[in-house]
Amino acid sequence: MKSTAIAVGTSRVLAVATDDIHRVIYINHQSTNSIYIGGDDVTTSNGFTIGKDVNIAIELPSRQSIFAIASHADQELRTLTPDVD
């Protein structure tokens, strides 16, 4: 598995890059304010909300990625992904 810490602010960032396999991604959010995840069109209005101290698992199809954005600067999202490359 590969662990990553991603700085998330008010501009959309890539949280989980595209891969050529179907995989389960684990996401953890420990910062104060909510983070929103989704596709490359994610906003704070349409994203899936991840609150403080929330852990989720997502089945991510091949050739798909996850982006993140926050309504406040300096938030941190942590991911755990299969290290198959």
In the 3-class helix/strand/coil scheme, how is 19-63 assigned residue by residue? CCCCEEEEEEECCCCCEEEECCCCCCCCCEEECCCEEEEEEECCC
Pick the CATH number of 2-81 from 3.40.50.620, 3.20.10.10, 2.60.120.770, 2.30.30.30: 2.60.120.770
Query: 83 pLDDT band (50/70/90 cuts)?
Result: confident
Q: What is the pLDDT of residue 85?
A: 56
Q: What is the pLDDT of residue 30?
A: 85
Q: Distance between CA 20 and CA 62 in Å, rounded?
A: 5
Q: Distance between CA 59 and CA 13 in Å, rounded?
A: 20
For residue 10 the two structure tokens come to 């008010």
Residue-wise pLDDT tens digits, 39-75:
999 999 999 999 998 999 999 999 999 999 999 999 9
Q: What is the pLDDT of residue 81?
A: 92
Asked whether 44 and 73 are in contact (CB, 8 A), the reply is no
